[in-house]
Amino acid sequence: MRTVVVVPTYNEADGIVALLDRVLRLAADVDVLVVDDSSPDGTAAVVGAHPDHGGRVQLLVRPGRQGLGPAYRAGFAWALDAGYDAVVQMDADLSHPPERLPALLAALEHADVAIGSRYVRGGGVRDWPLTRRAISRAGNLFVRMVLGTTVNDTTSGFKAFRRGALLRVMSARSESNGYCFQIETLWRADRIGLHVTEVPITFTDRTLGESKMSATIVGEAMLRVLTWRWRELLEPTVFGTPEDRHRVGA
């Protein structure tokens, strides 16, 4: 299965080489696409200077900081154009263990979307302060209650999609600027009727670089989740009828 790992970066020069090396050594058919928003710390130059292992390391540089959502939309469009069979998303800060990638890809043998999950048996979070744990837990509870999904880790940024599944998820116009992009893709996958599964991962707090999480990002997520729910209550067939959904196959 030809796979590409899409990694958005903003000021991740310190850890990106370790991430590239850890991903590239996993399997010969796994490539990496770094989507950098012209990071002032020179992340793109560091990636450009890394051996590309015969085209396995690709770089998409965008004109300036536009947020996680636009970076992923550009990266996913590139990956689909390039014809990959599976597309993975992963943070650049090594919070997501690259070594769990084979488990995510194995899960795609019987699922359309595999989520690297902190909140299933065997998963967890290491080194996060109590406040950050509480925000993540509360955020997940909020999303589960408002959107009515059974997925445990709705905000995970470590996911693998089969090509057909990603094509369907990205066929609708996505508006998320920040981290709510993660929730949006999950919500769409759930509503389209795709088979979503969770694979346990241990998430480790970043040791290099700085967090880009902000109150604006959290605020956008809460507002958008409520708006999405409101919209689908007003228009229940927005994702097709139940019959349409049963016909889905990725």
Ligand X SMILES: Nc1nc2c(ncn2[C@@H]2O[C@H](COP(=O)(O)OP(=O)(O)OP(=O)(O)O)[C@@H](O)[C@H]2O)c(=O)[nH]1
Q: Which residues bind ligand X (CB under 6 A)?
A: 8-10, 12, 35-37, 65-68, 71, 91-93, 95, 157, 179, 206, 211-213
Question: Which of ligand X, Mg ion, none binds 182 (CB below 5-8 Å, type-dependent)?
Answer: none
Least CB distance from residue 76 to Mg ion, whole Å?
Answer: 19
Is residue 12 near Mg ion by the rule CB under 5 A? no
Q: How many CB atoms lie within 10 A of CB 28?
A: 10
CA 146 from centroid of its chain's CA atoms: 21
From the list 18-26, 127-135, 200-208, 236-244, the region that binds Mg ion by CB under 5 A is 200-208
Near Mg ion by CB under 5 A: residue from 12, 14, 37, 93: 93
Residue whose CB is less far from ligand X, 6 or 147: 6
The residue with its CB nearest to Mg ion is 93
Q: Does 95 bind Mg ion (CB under 5 A)?
A: yes
**C-beta of 28 vs 138, nearer to ligand X:** 138
**Of 159 and 162, which CB lies nearer to Mg ion in the complex structure?**
159
Residues that bind Mg ion in the complex, under the rule CB under 5 A: 91, 93, 95, 206
